[in-house]
Amino acid sequence: MSFLQEQWQSHRRQLNPPRRYSSQREFEADWVGGLRRRYGLSQEALAMMAGVSVTTVQNWENPGSRKNIAPHNQDRLRDIERQLWIQSHVTLLEPCPPYIRALHDLLAANRDDSARGLAQYLIDTLPENDPERPRLLHWAGLAYSIADPLSLKARDYQAAALRALGRQRGPLAAAIENEVLGSQFEDLLKMPAGEPRTRQAQELLAACERLFQRDGQPAYQWNALEVACRAPLPAATQYRVLNALNRLLGEAAVRHRVMSDNAYEAVRPAYSGPTLVN
């Protein structure tokens, strides 16, 4: 069975799919267009990555086209999707431990089972206080979520990575924290509304606040506010974080950023009433 045929069959098994299609060809066209939109690619860029003409990509995205996507091109699209997914989720920060590079290579080679096995072995053997543990937990979550974004095991490892952040300091600490937080925030924005998204947002917000308590960097509080606004979390949570920023930086500075950055649109009504600072 070809790659997109497998994706089509998986879609048809869903009880409440986000979209219904009249044919496999219509599904394929939307899948290719969705791949480009997800990673901000032009048709020209995708054509270059796939080694085909722009006209071919246009035909792929045309649901009225009579030609199905050739199996070898479907395989190429599968590899491109994986490549783009990995690039958007991880950074091989230097110095990079050999086992992190090994996990990267296994995932890039479509050897997810081996990557999960290695990640589990490392988690079982790496000391709890090792400064690399948050990054390892993050990669373990990636090893599960790359094949199944809804994997419960992936969510468990992602939550564990967030809880481990802030326990140690070191030359790579801030970079690892940014990698973990950034990747999980991007995942959060792609999740459908519901309990899993809310739970992920609460974990992210708590991690940002713990990091702020550790070193007092306002950037972590701003990250917490963006999570609260864009998840979104309850208004009470949004205004609690906003109040903390007002006390930290002064209402004028916070108001200016909130009113000029659409990421914080949810809390703009706060500035139409009395001052928030207590």
Q: What are phi and psi of 62, to 5 degrees?
A: -95, 105
Selection from 80, 66, 148, 129 nearest residue 108 by Cα: 80
Q: Is there a domain that residue 218 lies in?
A: yes
Query: The domain spanning residue 20 has which CATH number?
Result: 1.10.260.40
Q: Is there a domain that residue 138 lies in?
A: yes
Q: Is residue 68's pLDDT more than 90?
A: no
Q: Are 13 and 53 part of one and the same domain?
A: yes
Give residue-wise pLDDT tens across range 102-149. Answer: 999 999 988 999 999 999 999 999 998 888 888 899 899 999 988 787
* Cα–Cα dist 66/108, whole Å: 33
pTM over 0.75: no
Question: 205 near 228, Cβ under 8 Å?
Answer: yes
Q: Are 73 and 108 part of one and the same domain?
A: no
Give residue-wise pLDDT tens across range 171-221. Answer: 667 777 887 888 888 888 878 888 989 998 999 999 999 889 888 889 999
Q: Are 105 and 56 part of one and the same domain?
A: no
**Of 186, 209, 237, which residue constitutes the final position of a domain?**
186
Q: Are 69 and 99 part of one and the same domain?
A: no
Domain containing 118 equals 90-186
Q: Are 23 and 67 part of one and the same domain?
A: yes
* Cα–Cα dist 76/56, whole Å: 13
Task: Band the pLDDT of 159: cuts 50, 70, 90.
Answer: confident
| Number of domains present in the structure of the chain | 3
DSSP track, the chain = --HHHHHHHHHHT-SS-SS--SSHHHHHHHHHHHHHHHHT--HHHHHHHHTS-HHHHHHHT-TT-SSPPPHHHHHHHHHHHHHHHHHHH---PSS--HHHHHHHHHHHTT-HHHHHHHHHHHHHHS-TT-TTHHHHHHHHHHHHHTT-TT-HHHHHHHHHHHHHTTS---TTHHHHHHHHHHHHHHHHHHSPSSHHHHHHHHHHHHHHHHHHHHH--HHHHHHHHHHHHHTTPPHHHHHHHHHHHHHHH-HHHHHHHHHH-GGGGGGGGGGGSS----
Stretch among 1-10, 22-31, 222-231, 261-270 having the lowest mean pLDDT? 1-10
Q: Is there a domain that residue 85 lies in?
A: no
* Total residues found in the chain within this entry: 278
Give residue-wise pLDDT tens across range 12-67. Answer: 888 888 888 989 999 999 999 999 998 999 999 999 999 999 999 999 999 998 88
Q: Is residue 169's pLDDT more than 80?
A: no
Q: Are 74 and 107 part of one and the same domain?
A: no
Q: Are 51 and 102 part of one and the same domain?
A: no
Question: 178 near 90, Cβ under 8 Å?
Answer: no
Residue 95 preceded by cis peptide, ω within 30: yes
Q: Is there a domain that residue 181 lies in?
A: yes
Q: Are 234 and 215 part of one and the same domain?
A: yes
Q: Is residue 77's pLDDT more than 90?
A: yes
Tokens of 196: 């899993």
Q: Are 147 and 198 part of one and the same domain?
A: no
Q: Is there a domain that residue 108 lies in?
A: yes
**Of 158, 186, 214, which residue constitutes the final position of a domain?**
186
Q: Are 182 and 197 part of one and the same domain?
A: no
What was the pLDDT predicted at 14?
Answer: 84
Output the CA–CA distances (angstroms, integers) from residue 6 to 24, 27, 38, in the order listed.
10, 11, 20
**Of 141, 160, 186, which residue constitutes the final position of a domain?**
186
Q: Are 54 and 123 part of one and the same domain?
A: no
Positive/negative CA dihedral, 116, 88, 58, 25: positive
Q: Is there a domain that residue 242 lies in?
A: yes
* Cα–Cα dist 96/102, whole Å: 10
Q: Is there a domain that residue 68 lies in?
A: yes
Question: 25 near 68, Cβ under 8 Å?
Answer: yes
Q: Are 181 and 203 part of one and the same domain?
A: no
